[in-house]
Amino acid sequence: MRRWLLIGAVLLVPLVLAACGGGNGGGGEAADDPSAAATSDDVVTIQLAEQNGSGESGTATLTAMDDRTLVVLDLQNPTTGSQPAHVHEGQCGPTLDPAPLHGLLNVANGHSETVVNVPLSELTAGGLAINIHHSDSAFERFVACGNLPGGDGGSAPVDDGDTGGFDY
């Protein structure tokens, strides 16, 4: 009799798991899980272009998480171990507002992941850029920047040499 119960249990477990769903679209994933897959409509990737001859460039990937956004920064050739990063109003170059709009975790050895308490649609409504600073001690020196899409800002960084008093 035990043998039949064991065989029944072995056959029943896969059916129960299949009925529960595999976790894809079943509503069981935590909203706070940054590794949860998002559709391509929920992901925006921009290029972070070198500023001031820093040699640093990379990407910023923004992933919608309901009313928040996961921002992942990856830099090639980081010049310091820890570099401040922010979302700023304006566009890369002289129109960039030096006051941060949204803080991001420092880029540590070329990588940073931050959940911002703003929906992706707000970050891509236009007129915003992601900017990486050289270091906490050289905060005014910008090393990489990328314009977020939306509005009439586009996504191409601008470096026209006019720093407007700041080292972009």
- Who has greater pLDDT, 151 or 14? 151
Residues pairing with 58 in the sheet: 48, 75
The Cα 43–Cα 28 span in angstroms is 21
Whether 9 and 16 have beta carbons less than 8 Å apart is answered as no
CATH 2.60.120.20 is right for the domain spanning 40-147 = no
For residue range 80-134, what is the model confidence (pLDDT) as tens digits? Answer: 789 999 999 999 999 999 899 999 999 999 999 999 999 999 999 999 999 998 8
In this prediction, residue 40 carries a pLDDT of: 55
The Cα 146–Cα 27 span in angstroms is 34
Whether 143 and 52 have beta carbons less than 8 Å apart is answered as yes
CA dihedral 140, 145, 150, 153 (to 10 degrees): 70
For residue range 150-167, what is the model confidence (pLDDT) as tens digits? Answer: 854 444 443 333 333 344
In this prediction, residue 13 carries a pLDDT of: 36
Lookup result for tokens 């640093």: 56
Residue type at position 27: G
- Helix (H) / strand (E) containing 129: strand 128-133
- Helix (H) / strand (E) containing 11: helix 2-20
